[in-house]
Structure 1
């Protein structure tokens, strides 16, 4: 590419989505507690991608979900444009940016969810990428699996959520699986 900011679309070979849950009447008082305003990040060394993909398909939220088929990536910076929905499908009320989630519940049992699955692409989510809560009442948990080729997140609370801040950055993975 000859431009100063070359953009390409990275095809995704597995299920990738981001979701929002709106208000609900479910009593979340017995759900696990999170620290308000924080997003925890853990690294899981087990490769449970099949189980996670299957479970997430069964739990797709009904409010708004965007499923991504390709990601727009700047080849110089390796940053993903999480707002590019050219190769995505949205069900529900609104487009949900990639790698983000939100909910309007007051507890932790009905959170928005996202699934990043970069298996087969030759890329993984960079360790430089961190997720931030969108407001002090929001919370979440992000888990990286398989050397960050898979990242699963649950975020929400008081109409807040989480997103990669300042950017979702990728890096080459050791071996692409095709």
Structure 2
């Protein structure tokens, strides 16, 4: 390490299919409803023709990590691929789908195989109008998934994504 401030990246063995963030593009015509019990339909026949302009999906194969603090640098795009719109930081999700508690934006962080997990101190904060979130931790934080949204609303890590070494 010749650099004074080397960059380190954590390889995500679960791959980019299991590590992504999304701002869902579709918006309901009837904003106060939550069709299909909140599950996503294959084709959204109840949605507007024009998608949400801030939508996008970003997948990650590696993520930048500060080895001194074990904090993920979620805005780094070095090993990410954005499709269908804007770059979405890891751990962020949202939509402009419904004013009801019906979040469609998703994120998934799968650290399986790294020996690391997201700490319980890592929290998510909602922003925007009529925002709601559901965050689920699996395998003691090795996997964290979230559903966030509103009209228009999103969630993101309050102070970053902090990791811990699994024992």
| Shorter-normalised TM range | 0.7 to 0.9
After superposition, the CA RMSD in angstroms is: 2.4
Which one of 82, 96, 101 corresponds to residue 104 of structure 1? Answer: 96
**1:133-169 CA distances to partner (integer Å, 9 max, x unpaired)?**
0235211010000010000100010122001111111
**Match 1:79 to one of 60, 71, 88:** 71
Check the 8 A contact 2:123/2:158 in 1, yes or no. yes
Contact 1:21-1:103 within 8 A present in 2 as well: yes
Q: Which has the higher contact order (CA 8 A, sep 6+)?
A: 1
> Do residues 18 (structure 1) and 21 (structure 2) align?
yes
Following TM superposition, the consecutive aligned residue runs of length 4 or more in structure 1 with deviations greater than 6 angstroms are none
Separation (CA, whole Å) in 2 of partners of 1:100 and 1:112: 9
Task: State TM-score, norm by structure 1.
Answer: 0.73
TM-score with structure 2 setting the length: 0.78
Question: What SS class does the counterpart of residue 147 from structure 1 fall into?
Answer: helix
Structure 1 unaligned segments of length 5 or more: list them: 34-58
Unpaired runs of at least 5, structure 2? 43-50
Query: What aligned pairs does 1:1-150 form with structure 2 within 5 A after superposition?
Result: 6-14=6-14, 15-25=18-28, 27=30, 29-30=33-34, 63-106=55-98, 107-109=100-102, 111-135=104-128, 137-150=130-143
Q: Deviation string for 1:8-49 (max 9, x for gaps)?
A: 10000112000011342365624569xxxxxxxxxxxxxxxx
Quote how far apart the aligned CAs of 1:6 are.
Answer: 4.9
Larger Rg: 2
Q: How many residues align?
A: 147
Asked if the contact 1:103/1:155 (under 8 Å) is kept, the reply is: yes
User: Matches of 1:6 and 1:134 in 2, distance apart?
Assistant: 33
Contact 2:56 2:82 in 1 (8 A): yes
User: In the superposition, relative to structure 1, how do residues 136 and 110 fare at CA in structure 2: closer, same or farther (>3 Å)?
Assistant: closer
Contact 1:6/1:74 (CA < 8 Å) preserved in 2?
no
